[in-house]
Amino acid sequence: MSPAELHADSIVIDGLIIAKWNRELFEDMRKGGLTAANCTVSVWEGFKATVDNIATSQKLIRDNSDLVMPVRTTADIRKAKELGKTGILFGFQNAHAFEDQIAYVDVFKQLGVGIVQMCYNTQNLVGTGCYERDGGLSGFGREIVAEMNRVGIMCD
């Protein structure tokens, strides 16, 4: 099997895309044979701004449904491959959007968030970032991780 055939036959997932989303980016994903991608919808945004980002992203996905589709499960990713589309999974680069509400974890899961990085560089309510002395997760952070595990959001 040639490298091109292997790539075409494989499920190829980009673990992180943080970009300005548009049709051209979706076209590039298809040209590259991307099966699915973790697309960032939140870095430092709070709850409302992140929900706004998700709503905007959902519309963009609907408007470009010939190229992309939302994915939430491995079966959805396989379906995207079968249909020749790129599956879009929403992700956070910082748990800041959870604010101080554990219940927001499930809300975001229902909106399609599947991957959350705990901290981005500096401290938030969940724990410390890489630019600070490593204090790890806070007590609240441990509760957030437990809730993410319960609802099925991957910890990055």
Q: Please report which helix (H) or strand (E) contains residue 16, including its range.
A: strand 13-17
| Whole-number pLDDT of residue 108 | 98
Residue 122 — very low, low, confident or very high, per pLDDT cuts 50/70/90? confident
The model's pLDDT over 63-80, given as tens digits with 9 standing for 90+, comes to 999 999 999 999 999 999
Domain boundaries, the chain: 3-117
Return the closest-CA partner of residue 47 out of 94, 117, 15: 94
| Whole-number pLDDT of residue 106 | 98
Compute the distance between CA of residue 118 and CA of residue 10 in angstroms, rounded to an integer.
29
Q: Average pLDDT, stretch 76-103?
A: 97
CA distances from 13 to 26, 45, 87 (A): 14, 25, 9
Q: DSSP state, 153?
A: P
Compute the distance between CA of residue 154 and CA of residue 156 in angstroms, rounded to an integer.
6
CATH number of 3-117: 3.20.20.140
